[in-house]
Amino acid sequence: MRRRAASVIPALRFRARKTRDDLVEEVKKLEKQRDGGSAQQPGKAWTVEKWLQHWVENIAKPTVSENTYDGYEVAVRVHLVPGVGKHRLDRLQPEHLESLYRRMQANGERKAGTAHQANRTARTAPGEAVRRGYAAKNAAALAKPPRMEEDESEVEPYSVEEVQCLLLEANKRRNSARWMLALALGLRQGETLGLRWSDVDLRNEYLKLRRNRLRPRYKHGCPEASQCGRKAGYCPAKVQVRRETKNTKSRAGRRAVPLPGPLVAMLRAHAETQERERKRAGDLWTESDYVFTKPLGGPLSPNTDYHDWKRLLEDAGVRNARLHDARHTAATVLMLLGVPDRVIDQIMGWEPGTSASMRARYLHVPDAMLKDVARKIAEAIWGTPETPAVDKNQDNEV
């Protein structure tokens, strides 16, 4: 029986069991793995740590976007390797990962979203190992990630009144049109900061979204990091090692967006203001063609933009929320205006295959709309309520 097992599954060499029936059952299982393409390949077994490090640098990095790679790299280095890295890859169990997720959330140290990011990375990396035959199963695909609490994922879009307060305050600042693009059209931060004048057609009142601004990454420009004693981003001679923008990879992301008349006027005024800044700066101006720039030209930093948003909320007296919540606001306004779903999908840049789920996530039904629906239901079933008669004698009483 040992020879049979070896000939059928040569990569697994041989198997020994106490009884013939047990051995036959083991061989059948191995044959099933072989026929299904999940039989483990021969060679030294990978540890989870070694495989994750190999996968993130040599498999993921050359094929995914910089932002996706950053998420993978942090999940691997900060969470997965310290948590389950010592296990053999082919012996990793769902319970090992579920225990890690619980530890990440213990005492409120990690939110469920962080554990979900770790779980997404864990599912992807061992999945590639299974495909290559280094493990028979993907334990992460079987592990149950922590449940997302409703209050962590719930988003409340800004009301029309709050949007108006924000726009009144934004009009006092540089790049005021930047916030209108977010609140009125729902443009993502990267899309807005990556926008160039060559993408804007004010005469025909639309703009084209074709690229995203990336978060900058730097390395030390001094001979040795210890000479300046600062992080790379604060080194006086820092060198940027990441490109400024990347082209939008999805077809839905590459889209034309209509510009409302008031926003066209704001962008015209913004172009004139930028030209005056260019003349005042003279040789100090950094030419870039970006719509929204620093006072001396050059692209805005996403980090600076984020802090500008927080200051805008505070100065406008509007509740604190994420910059991305403005995107939820814009999508909800489009729904309230009765814009067809297909048009909403294009403006927001949602893929056809995911548009229904994205609408469910981004379109929020206000209380006023629910009350209006309740009124219509009442009228349809019970009829229009009669107006109570007014007692004229009572009106004359003092």
Q: Please check whether residue 58 lies inside any domain of the structure.
A: yes
In whole angstroms, give the CA distance from residue 34 to residue 4.
14
Note whether 132 and 52 are same-domain residues: yes
Radius of gyration of the chain from its Cα atoms, rounded to whole angstroms: 29
How many C-beta atoms surround the C-beta of residue 228 within 10 A? Answer: 17
* CA–CA gap between residue 361 and residue 395 (Å, rounded): 52
Please give the DSSP secondary-structure letter assigned to residue 293.
Answer: B
Last residue within a domain, chosen from 333, 365, 384: 333
Please determine, for residue 359, whether its predicted confidence score (pLDDT) is greater than 90: no
Confidence of residue 4 (pLDDT cuts 50, 70, 90): very low
Is residue 156 scored above 80 in pLDDT? no
Rounded to whole angstroms, the Cα distance separating 101 from 119 reads 8
Kindly tell me if the per-residue pLDDT of 388 is higher than 60.
no
* Domains identified in the chain, total number: 3
Residue 236 lies in a domain: no
Contact criterion met (CB below 8 Å) for 237 and 221: yes
Higher local confidence (pLDDT), 114 or 151: 114
Share of the chain above pLDDT 90, in %: 26
Of 78, 330, 359, give the one whose Cα is nearest residue 180: 330
- Decide: helix, strand or coil at residue 207: strand
In a domain, 7, yes or no: yes
The upper half-sphere exposure of residue 352, i.e. CA atoms within 13 Å in the direction of its Cβ, equals 1
| Owning domain of residue 22 | 2-35
Kindly give, in sequence order, each residue whose CB lies less than 8 Å from that of residue 52, ignoring residues fewer than 6 positions away. 76, 80, 81, 85, 125
Compute the residue count for the chain.
398
- Domain boundary among the residues 310, 333, 356 is at 333
169 and 311 inside one domain: yes
Residues contacting 177, CB < 8 A, separation 6+: 263, 266, 267, 269, 270, 291, 292
3-state secondary structure of 174: coil
Return the structure tokens found at 316. Answer: 């406008």
Where in the sequence numbering do the catalytic residues fall? 188, 219, 324, 327, 350, 362
**pLDDT, tens only, 278-308:** 999 999 999 989 999 999 998 888 889 999 9
* Cα 50 to Cα 266: distance, rounded to the nearest angstrom: 54
Nearest-angstrom CA–CA distance, 362 and 358 = 6
pLDDT digits (tens, 9 = 90+) for 106-142: 755 455 667 778 888 989 998 899 888 888 889 888 8
Partnered with residue 206 across adjacent β-strands are 201, 258
Alpha-carbon distance 177 to 371, whole Å?
34
Between helix 325-336 and helix 341-348 the angle, nearest 10°, is: 160
Out of 153, 179, 194, pick the residue that ends a domain.
Answer: 153
3-class DSSP state of 376 = helix
Exposure on the CB side of residue 353, measured as CA atoms within 13 A? 2
Statement to judge: residues 148 and 164 lie in one domain:
no
